Structure 1
């Protein structure tokens, strides 16, 4: 009988959740499918180890964030103090795109693309999972470069920019998982994503904003 205790079981459940959540969506995923894929016989294994679906999703996203953080931290450190939006976005997109290197990362991109509203940007306060991280500081520096925009426009636009980046990378991830040939090579795709998002963020504020 498969055990439902220990770090090994937690890791199996997290990896299974990545696969099931990516295929079925975080809200529509069946936990019994996660338990079965993880090779567990106890149907309450998720509740035992994570407390709930939300707890399992938090664990999945924590692992995803940790992998991104390892890439973005040195990139942020290397940036000059007065670099512009394009350079900052290049670092952010490069870190996010590092997850395209394997199926596990691709699945996490698929999952997180639907959770961009969880950043907390629209409230002016980052989600606790991002607050204090290199990723959070990078987002903050991008926001600082947009100080000419009225605050409501700036916060909403930055949140939408992250949503755009997440959606574009999630679609690229889907193509990788499905074996679909993309229209453009990786280098061109990422350069265009940075350029498009930079232009979006630099668009003038609407009249009367």
Structure 2
């Protein structure tokens, strides 16, 4: 494994286990077997750039899976159908990573840091397939004012991130009572209910 790849894998695991704020560049360098503590700055620049470098391969695979899903089945007509387009490429990505994956927990940990949450949210939401999917979901909830749609978009992101993190943790620990497919179905049902809920 090349130095850059080793640093990325090590950082992703340490961030997932301990949180972003608790893990220094020095700790990542040492765990990756690098004596030079400036190796992260050399390869990636800032902490935000390191986070982007971790996220981008995952987002690229999810993007590819989502477009493949749309190409195979066509664009759905219903809100649950578009919720499936949003969710399934993500859960399929985690299923393909296997029980030793760390990315879902990394994303959940990063979501608690205001600056880094913005970085990862920008990376994920900027992909064309995500933009398309969220636009189609909003088109199917025209009664909701824009501010409520934005709130429910945030709720959607948090629900998917944290439920996937819990599933990943359980699979890693051997305590999972659901498959990734079952997790996808549960998320689709929950998101459909979230977006269809009427305003009080």
By the TM > 0.5 criterion, same fold?
A: yes
Structure 2 spans left out of the alignment, 5+ residues: 112-116
Distance 2:128 2:56 in 1: 12
Q: State the Cα deviation string for residues 142-194 of structure 1 (Å, max 9, x = none).
A: 22222220110111012202211111111001112222x22334433321221
Q: Corresponding residue for 2:114?
A: none
Contact 1:73 1:135 in 2 (8 A): no
Q: Corresponding residue for 1:12?
A: 6
What are the residue-to-residue correspondences of 1:22-171 with 2, within 5 Å?
Answer: 22-81=16-75, 83-101=77-95, 102=97, 106-115=101-110, 118=118, 127=122, 130-171=125-166
Aligned-residue Cα RMSD (Å) equals 2.5
Contact 1:13 1:34 in 2 (8 A): yes
Q: Corresponding residue for 1:3?
A: none
Contact 1:76 1:134 in 2 (8 A): no
Contact 2:13 2:106 in 1 (8 A): no
Distance 1:193 1:128 in 2: 22
Larger Rg: 1
Higher RCO (Cα < 8 Å, 6 or more apart)? 2
Q: Corresponding residue for 1:191?
A: 185
Q: Tell me the TM-score normalised to structure 2 length.
A: 0.85
What is the aligned length?
194
Contact 1:26 1:57 in 2 (8 A): no
Q: State the Cα deviation string for residues 39-62 of structure 1 (Å, max 9, x = none).
A: 211111001111122211111011
